[in-house]
Structure 1
Amino acid sequence: MSRPVAHLANLDLNLLVALRELVRERSVTRAAQRLGVTQPAASAALSRLRRHFGDDLLVREHGEYVLTALGEQLAEQVEVVCAAAERLFAASTDFDPATSEREFTLVMADYTIMVMGEALSQALGAAAPRARLHIRLVRESLSTEYADTIRFVDGMVAPPTNGFTLPDTRSAELFRDRWVCLVDANNPALDAGTLELRDMALLPWVAPYYRSNQRQPPSVPVMRQLALLDIQPRVAVRVESYLAVPYFVAGTDRVALMQERLATRLAAQAGLKVLECPGDHEPIVEALWWHRQYEEDTAHAWLRRLIVETARRL
């Protein structure tokens, strides 16, 4: 059990910061400037990192440095680890939002950003003008990476799924929404003025975060609703974004399920109609999720209150 601790103790953790700046800048010279060291010192750090990982990390192509495949993989991981380390050593019982320069990291979908991003940005700017916010967009693999990711971010804004009910996870409800159908205004399926379940089963679909080889019960909210309606969608377009959905429905006979708050804001500009969904479907419940290790963190508790209060004012 002691081997991982001993291994960590033998590492030069200053290399984490060097790695972050090297993969950010993709330049030894610029990384040295960011680190406040000489270029030979930055080169030496890169050499040590290459030996440690057994990979070049940065290679020169056409006169400039590019990341190797491992370098690309490490680029996101080192951001998360460095942010977690900064939060760890910034933890204190004394927290003054007016003077704090702490960076908070949240994982959100573009749908949630449209609903509450502006209000949250303004609330944070007014209460903690020197604090920084790092927004990471939800990715397709979020549900599979959730158990690891939640430890290294301040929170995730997402609906509950099977993967989000870990024993060490805490949550607070933010807001609710409901599902509606989105179709082009000239879609022939609208001749009757409404959509029936049989229409939805026959029409081609635009589906965000859809995985066709999903063996377990669907964790993606849209696909879970379709499963509840017993619809096996004929997916014409898969897209890793909620905001992109309307643009692949417009001018076609495709249909999509969308959150009402988002659909009503985007429909008019894309020539779409928002219709009631037939059948029974679950309400959308968006919540803030965080790891219990942050429960006693004064700054984190302040952030949680700010997010919840901002959502309640929507």
Structure 2
Amino acid sequence: MDFAKLSRVNINLLITLKALLKERSASQAADRLNLSQSSISKNLSQLRYIFKDPLFHRTSHGLTPTAFALSIEPKLSIAIDAIESLFTQSRFLLAEYKGTFRLSMQESAFEFITAKLLNNLLIHAPGVRLDTWFKDTLSLEHLNQGLLDFVILPHDIGQTPNLGNYLNSYELYRDHLVCLVNGKHPALMQAWNQESYLNCRHIHVRDNELGTPIFDQTLAKRGLERDIAVQVPDFHSASSLCSQSDLVFTTSSTWAAYSCKVRDLIELPMPLPSSEVVYSLIWHQRSESDKAHTWLKEQIIQAAYKLSPEQVRALN
């Protein structure tokens, strides 16, 4: 270890870099640290010299980190947290904690995980605030940028997105595919099999991040294809449209159980081979040493524990 080299690095410089990565604005970083903007500029100049990298580029939206700055952010967070722990008590008092967590997910995860989580938070963590987003608004890239704390991502087995080097994941639960049709659908008057399924027109929930579902890729390998009549951005829209048309909505059994409770819909089995759907919890390594973050992660995992369509039916 080169102590002489380390001795030339002022801890204030690292704190400035952490604030700039968090705020993406020199003025906001100055306010956060109670420093002048000129001090922030001087610190940034020294940081650029030390790291031999510009670290940030100025844009109309503020400061945009370079690839190098983003790559060292997890290590920087760990280093500053470790230094801070030298001067603070390690005890985490949930009842006294005040902070905001930002979660992004599909509606299916909100209905069955986050909604179950909220009551526990309100009772045991009154100072915690949850900001929730739908996944088509904020997702994995925003998690990398520090704009989110968690993403709950549904995906087919074999369709896990590239999480890179700094995102961690935990499998919350698995589900299987079923079909939803309205109560007067013509398919209810005939045999429900591969032929009748493919003869129907379908609704598909679009996911630009994951691309073509594994199910449709498997069909294509067999020379088969669903007739997708409508693509929608969310599950609620798909269920609503399904209840008002002769379109088929292929979805998870958990969402189907919920939808059949609130709409005039009938659940049918999936008549073709299909892979399971996995719901994964994803977070950034920068939060690994954050005790509040770890607590909430454990609460999300517990809320999803043994989740099943039967439990969903019992809750509705």
The DSSP-based 3-state class of the residue aligned with 2:236 is coil
User: Structure 1: how far apart are the matches of 2:102 and 2:263?
Assistant: 32
1:158 aligns with one of 138, 153, 161: 153
Shift of 1:225: 1.9
TM-score, length-normalised on structure 1?
Answer: 0.65
Partners of 1:237 and 1:248 within 8 A in 2: no
Q: Is the 8 A contact 1:156 1:289 kept in 2?
A: yes
Q: How does 1:199-218 map to 2 (within 5 A)?
A: 199-209=196-206
Contact in 2 for aligned 1:140/1:240 (Cα 8 Å): no
Kindly provide the amino acid, as one letter, of the partner of residue 289 in structure 1: I
Q: Secondary structure at the match of 1:122?
A: helix
Q: Mark the runs of 5 or more structure 2 residues left unpaired by the alignment.
A: 1-16, 33-57, 65-76, 308-316
Q: How many residues align?
A: 236
Pairing 1:125-140 to 2, within 5 Å after superposition: 125-139=122-136
Residue 284 (1) aligns with residue 282 (2): no
Distance (whole Å) between structure 2 residues aligned to residue 200 and residue 210 of structure 1: 22
Partners of 2:91 and 2:297 lie apart in 1 by: 16
Report sequence identity in percent. Answer: 22
Q: Quote the offset at 1:99 in angstroms.
A: 0.8
Secondary structure of 2:94's match? coil
Q: 1:259 to 1:171 in 2, by over 3 A?
A: same
Q: How does 1:188-227 map to 2 (within 5 A)?
A: 188-194=186-192, 196-209=193-206, 219-220=210-211, 223-227=213-217
Q: Measure the CA separation in 1 of the matches of 2:215 and 2:142.
A: 27
Show the counterpart of 1:293: 286
What is the CA distance between 1:178 and its match in structure 2? 1.5
Q: CA deviation at 1:304?
A: 1.1
User: What is the CA distance between 1:268 and its match in structure 2?
Assistant: 4.5
Question: 3-state SS of the aligned residue for 2:249?
Answer: strand
Q: Distance in 2 between the 1:133 and 1:148 partners?
A: 16
Where do 1:75-114 residues align within 5 Å? 93-114=90-111
3-state SS of the aligned residue for 1:267?
helix
CA distance in 1, matches of 2:191, 2:199: 17
AA in 1 matched with 2:216:
L
Q: 2:171 & 2:191 partners in 1: Cα distance?
A: 35
| Cα offset, 1:220, TM superposition | 4.8
Displacement after TM superposition at 1:201 (Å)? 2.2
Match of 1:240 among 233, 243, 261: 233
Residue 189 (structure 1) shift? 2.2
SS of corresponding position for 2:302: helix
Letter in 2 for 1:273: I
Deviations 1:90-132 (A, max 9, x none): 9864432111111011111111101122211112222211111
Offset at 1:191? Answer: 2.1
| 1:277 Cα offset (Å) | 0.1
Pair 306,11 (structure 1): closer, same or farther in 2 beyond 3 Å = closer
Match among 135, 149, 163 for residue 143 of structure 2: 149
Alpha-carbon distance change, 210 to 118 in structure 1, aligned in 2, over 3 angstroms? closer
Alpha-carbon distance between aligned partners in 2 of 1:238 and 1:265, rounded to the nearest angstrom:
21
Residue 16 of structure 1: how far off its partner (Å): 9.6
TM superposition shift of 1:179: 0.9
SS at match of 2:245: coil
Conserved? CA contact 1:181–1:256, under 8 Å? yes
Kindly provide the CA deviation profile for residues 125-173 of structure 1, in whole angstroms up to 9, marking residues without a partner as x.
Answer: 222111111111110784xxx2453341211111354424322221122
Q: Which residue matches 1:24?
A: none
User: Residues 229 and 279 of structure 1 are in contact (CA less than 8 Å); yes or no, is this contact kept in structure 2?
Assistant: no
The amino acid that maps onto 2:153 is A
Report the CA distance shift for 1:111/1:220 in structure 2 as closer, same or farther (over 3 A).
Answer: farther
CA deviations over 1:182-217 (Å, ceiling 9, x no partner): 1122221222242x2222222211111166xxxxxx
Name the CA shift for 1:175/1:126 in 2 (closer, same or farther; >3 Å): farther
SS of match in other structure, 1:257: strand
Q: Supply the distance in 2 between the matched residues of 1:239 and 1:17 (Cα, whole angstroms).
A: 42
Judged with a 3 Å threshold, the aligned counterparts in structure 2 of structure 1 residues 298 and 209 are, in CA distance, closer, same or farther, namely: same
Quick one: structure 1 residues 11 and 278, their matched pair in 2 at CA, closer, same or farther if it must change by over 3 Å? closer
1:311 aligns with 2:304: yes
The alpha-carbon distance between structure 1 residues 15 and 291, as it changes in their structure 2 partners (threshold 3 A), is closer
Instruction: Answer yes or no: is the 8 Å Cα contact 2:143–2:284 preserved in 1.
Output: no
- 2:218 matches 1:228: yes
Q: 1:11: Cα distance to partner?
A: 5.7
